[in-house]
Amino acid sequence: MSKRLVVALSGGVGGAKLALGLSLVLPADELLVVANTGDDFEHLGLSISPDIDTLTYALAGIDNPATGWGRRDETWSFMDSIGALGGEDWFRLGDRDLALHVERTRRLRLGQTLSEVTSDICRRLGIGVHVVPMSDDRVRTRVRVDAGWIDFQDYFVRQQCRPVVHGLAFDGVMLARPHADITAALRSGDVRAVIVCPSNPFISVEPILTIPGMRDAIKASGAPVVAVSPIIGGQAVKGPTAKMMRELGFEVSAAAVAARYGDLLDGYIVDHADADGVGNVGARVTIAKTLMKSLHDRETLARVTLGAADALVSQR
Ligand code: FO1
């Protein structure tokens, strides 16, 4: 019986793009997407889970195509009004997006878990793919800058990634447990591939891999692990990846990202622009177009990534 479940690790906008591509080429019940929750924070009295929402909106086809986060066809009356009242308007919450944060906060306060809330919201948005937070336990990415430790969204949004990054920490991660649906899937013996989406390795993927037991569960699954490089032509497609890598002392290259994943990778999908520098990354390299602008790009990269995983299995 061929292995049929694909488990994708996703954070940020790049991760959501490939997750959408995978959802277009796989039956819904053959894809489980693990969402990073390290970006989560409390703001305006609301519990906000940006990477879960970016993923959910992309899979539901209601994401904002210009930014990749938040919803399309948005209005901003709430933001205008709270700004006029002297409230915090640096983290842009559209009126439609706001409803999700208010409803998630209400349910969490009732004692529902983040995964229960996520599952019901995905169902209501018509998403068949299984979207699971990496853990229902609290994990918060913190960034050490000259002024000390700050929350990730303060660094990323309020300060627009300007501060120099001296270090990262994932508060709570050592006490966090991988969500049971993830460990159950990885133990099923039924996993076709584990895909590490082209997300920022430090802020979107590492929180997931640092959860005790997660890395071992991925390795023990027996499935090929294939990552897509988030670097194209020595630059990050979006966000602070390149600047952060330099400030943390890493070379900004596809090879450096692969090295960060260590011995986890069996396959690595690298853009044509970076084909030269990935000679010995300890994983089988596939050169492909990794920039995803169109839906077709997302779908094609998903097929390439799955093809690379299948080839690794057939040549074992
Ligand atoms: N990213 C920004 O750069 N500016 C924003 O104002 C902003 C608002 C926002 C609201 C809801 C949401 O789900 C995501 C939002 N993001 C915003 C993205 C967020 O900062 C994510 O953490 C990044 O995409 C990195 O993962």
- Sequential DSSP letters for 2-28: ---EEEEEE-HHHHHHHHHHHHHHS-G
- Tell me the pLDDT band of 69, cut-offs 50, 70 and 90: very high
**Which residue bears the tokens 């919450």?**
93
Is residue 212 scored above 80 in pLDDT? yes
pLDDT at residue 83, as a whole number: 98
- Tell me the pLDDT band of 180, cut-offs 50, 70 and 90: very high
- Residue bearing the CA closest to ligand 1, atom 16: 69
Which atom of ligand 1 is nearest to 52's Cα?
13
pLDDT at residue 236, as a whole number: 84
Ligand 1 mean position, distance from CA 19 (Å): 18
Model-level pTM? 0.97
Residue 60 · residue 125 · CB < 8 Å: yes
pLDDT one-digit tens code per residue, 277-286: 898 889 999 9
DSSP state of 155: I
- Tell me the pLDDT band of 1, cut-offs 50, 70 and 90: low
Cβ of 35 below 6 Å from ligand 1: no
Structural domains in the chain, CATH included, are 5-65+113-314 (3.40.50.10680)
Is residue 90 scored above 70 in pLDDT? yes
Which atom of ligand 1 is nearest to 51's Cα?
26
Determine which of 2-11, 107-116, 213-222 has the lowest per-residue pLDDT on average: 2-11
Compute the distance between CA of residue 14 and CA of residue 254 in angstroms, rounded to an integer: 15
pLDDT at residue 239, as a whole number: 74
pLDDT at residue 240, as a whole number: 82
Cβ of 50 below 6 Å from ligand 1: yes
- Tell me the pLDDT band of 157, cut-offs 50, 70 and 90: very high
Q: Are strands 140-145 and 167-171 parallel, antiparallel or unpaired?
A: antiparallel
Q: Tell me the best of 92, 95, 140, 152 to mutate to test the pocket of ligand 1, counting ligand atoms within 8 Å of each CB and taking the most.
A: 92
Q: Are strands 140-145 and 130-133 parallel, antiparallel or unpaired?
A: unpaired
Cβ of 151 below 6 Å from ligand 1: no
Which atom of ligand 1 is nearest to 91's Cα?
6
Residue 52 · residue 131 · CB < 8 Å: yes
Task: Name which of 58, 81, 82, 79 is nearest 70 in CA terms.
Answer: 58
**Which residue bears the tokens 């997931």?**
208
